[in-house]
Amino acid sequence: MKHKLIFVSAILALALCGCHSHHNHDGHCSHDHEHNHEHQLEMHNEQHDLHGEHMHVHEMDEAEDEHNHADGEIVISHEQIHKFGIKTERAENRDFCKIVKTCGEILAAQGNESVIVSPSNGIATFASNSLTAGRAVRNGEVIAFVSSKNIENGDPSAKAKAAFDAAKSAYERAESLVKDKIISQKEYEQAKLNFENAQNEYLALSSKTTDKGIGVSSTLGGFVKEIHISNGEYVNVGQPVATVSQSRRLYLQVDVPEKHLSEMRNITGANFKLPYSDSLFRTNELKGKIISCGKSYGKNSCFVPVTFEFDNIGNIVQGSFAEVFLQIKSFKKVISVPLTALTESAGIYFVYLQTGDHSFVRQDVSIGSNDGERVEILKGLHEGDIVVTEGAIHVKLAENSAAIPEGHNHNH
């Protein structure tokens, strides 16, 4: 009985120990699981906080970018500024003379032209197929031939040769007769004169005569300004064949409106543009000077002519009409910009100002007169403004584009 009690007690003790051990194990597992869960929540919260902080920084950057590039600013990358050749200048007050805009014509200066005429009657043929207006010629160069072969009046060269031979024979006979006093001294002198005249005519023609006919030579070096005949045309002696011009000096004849007559004595020079050139020509840079001012109106005109003389630099064509900007001596300090800086839309003029390293804004302006190169700004600009002078069209395209220009980013 005693042993049974001891055995039962032992079994109960073992059972209690196992239960306690199982309870402790379950409690430990539950604690670890709760700890891991809390740790995961903490890491998730930290990641959430970091993500929120990142989003906040990004929003600050965007806000800062919006602050740096306000509405109306045009952003162009440094690469594009260089690529499109965008250039600027600082606005400042500078001398600007009064301008009278009018028109004029380029003329040949007197004394630098020669009209080449035919030495005889006959059929004229050009010495070269390249004989055209503008072709360069040398002094004494043959530009055409005139042939009288198979023409009713005959070849003048052959006729001159026959006249020379006859005059020579008469002169030689007179020489022998005057010695014997068979003829008078007066008759001898006349025979001698006839011989000399026939000789000069013959030599003049023979030196120019070839199988093609009598050569027509230029009397000065320069270029062919105008050809007056057609190849193969019949010409008379003395008829103009071509006009040759040296064109070392040219005239610019300007029509001055009558309302500016009182200012004619104050004209200092003229700038002019030609329809076939993008260049602006300045008489002051071409050794130009005023050679005459008209004292009366032209026929059926309300303009008075003013004529400048200047050097031809080689690409100014006589007979050209010109857009002229007369300069009047009345200088004043104004803000002006190159015409290339000015843009127009729907009758409104504007320029672009640079406000940062690669940012620009549009600025409306009111304009005054221009001298063909620069234009006076009456309103809209101040000294110190940085104005786009070249590449303004590219700034305008960037302004009109809905997309951010290529190469732009937020790394400012």
pLDDT of 290 strictly over 80 = yes
Banded model confidence at residue 70, pLDDT cuts 50, 70, 90: low
Look at the pTM and tell me if it is higher than 0.75: no
Residue 331: count of CB within 10 angstroms of its CB: 13
Range with the poorest average pLDDT among 2-16, 106-120, 360-374:
2-16
Residue 407 pLDDT more than 70?
A: no
Q: Percent of the chain scored above 90 by pLDDT? A: 29
What is the C-alpha separation between 294 and 305, in angstroms, rounded? 5
Q: Decide if pLDDT at 364 tops 50.
A: yes
- Domains of the chain, residue spans: 21-68, 74-94+333-400, 100-109+248-331, 115-245
Which residue is associated with the tokens 């400042």?
A: 92
Q: Tell me the CATH number for domain 100-109+248-331.
A: 2.40.30.170
DSSP 298: P
Quick check: do 74-94+333-400 and 115-245 share a fold? no
Is pLDDT at 17 greater than 90 in this prediction? no
267-273 vs 249-257, strand pairing mode: unpaired
SS3 (DSSP) at 11: helix
What average pLDDT score do residues 114-120 get? 89
The overall average pLDDT reported for the chain is 78
242 pLDDT band (50/70/90 cuts)?
very high
Q: Residue length, the chain?
A: 412
Rounded-to-integer distance, Cα 147 and Cα 16, Å: 152
pLDDT for res 297? 60
Question: Residue 174: what are its φ and ψ, rounded to 5°?
Answer: -65, -35
Closest CA to 327 of 351, 308, 349, 352: 308
How far apart are alpha carbons 218 and 247 in whole angstroms? 15
pLDDT at 153: 65
Instruction: Place 1 in a pLDDT band, splitting at 50, 70 and 90.
Output: very low
CA-to-CA separations, 158 to 151, 163, 200, 207, 290, in angstroms, rounded: 12, 9, 14, 13, 53
What tens digit of pLDDT does each residue of 224-235 get? 888 999 999 999
**45-54, 99-108, 394-403: which range is least confident on average?**
45-54
Domain 115-245: which topology?
OB fold (Dihydrolipoamide Acetyltransferase, E2P) (2.40.50)
Q: pLDDT value at position 219?
A: 87
CATH class of 74-94+333-400: mainly beta
